[in-house]
Structure formats: structure tokens, C-alpha cells
């Protein structure tokens, strides 16, 4: 007998969780008059250039939402770190130019 791991969902996921009301398409249904079914929850994410939509079971919603939020937080932190690194490199290049100018003025070139 195989044991299934309890937590099969990833810790970080691209995309977002959206709540939607849906129309079933039956002409006699209440949704044809505007009373839509739902809410249902979907995970939207881009795969390449294509937007994908996947239905979420009610017990998956919070876990997927947390994984998407963790991904966004991680991305923000990575972008902030990248900005800081680029600024550090610009500052070091400016200092190096200053030092090189001082050396040129000392040597008389």
C-alpha cells in the first residue's frame, strides 16, 4: 500500500487566485436571467504567452492563494535586491572613475 504525501501543492506558484460567478448555459436556468452560479475559485497563470485557468476545489483555495502570495513576495524581494545591486555597481563605477582621475592628475598624464 502506497502512502500519499499530505501536501502535494507547491510552496510557491506563479499566478493568482480569482473568484468568479459562472453561467451554465442552460436556457431555463436562473443564470440565464442573471443570477449566476458560484462563487467558484480559479487559479490563473501564464504558461509561455498563454493564460491558463484551472478550477480550484474549495479545500485548495487558501493553500494555492498562499503559494501565489509567497511567489509574489519572493519576486518583489528579488527585484529589490537586484535594484540595490545595480545601484551598488553604479556607485562603485563612479568611485573608480574618481580614483582614476586622481591618479591621472598625480602622474601628470
State pLDDT tens for residues 27-78: 999 999 999 999 999 999 999 999 999 999 999 999 999 999 999 999 999 9
50-56 and 37-47 as β-strands: parallel, antiparallel, unpaired? antiparallel
Quote the pLDDT of residue 74: 94
Query: 13 — phi, psi (to 5°)?
Result: -135, 140
8: confidence class by pLDDT, cuts 50, 70, 90: low
Q: What residues make up the domain containing 30?
A: 16-107
pTM: 0.70
Quote the pLDDT of residue 36: 95
pLDDT of 109 strictly over 80: no
State whether residue 38 is helix, strand or coil.
strand
> What is the number of domains present in the chain?
1
3: confidence class by pLDDT, cuts 50, 70, 90: low
Amino acid at each position: 500500500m502506497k502512502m500519499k504525501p499530505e501536501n502535494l501543492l507547491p510552496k510557491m506558484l506563479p499566478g493568482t487566485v480569482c473568484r468568479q460567478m459562472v453561467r451554465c448555459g442552460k436556457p431555463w436556468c436562473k443564470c440565464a436571467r442573471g443570477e449566476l452560479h458560484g462563487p467558484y475559485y480559479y487559479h490563473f497563470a501564464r504558461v509561455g504567452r498563454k493564460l491558463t485557468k484551472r478550477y480550484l476545489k474549495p479545500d485548495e483555495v487558501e493553500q494555492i492563494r498562499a503559494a501565489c502570495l509567497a511567489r509574489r513576495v519572493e519576486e518583489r524581494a528579488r527585484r529589490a535586491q537586484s535594484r540595490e545591486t545595480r545601484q551598488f555597481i553604479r556607485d562603485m563605477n563612479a568611485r573608480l572613475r574618481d580614483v582614476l582621475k586622481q591618479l591621472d592628475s598625480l602622474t601628470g598624464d
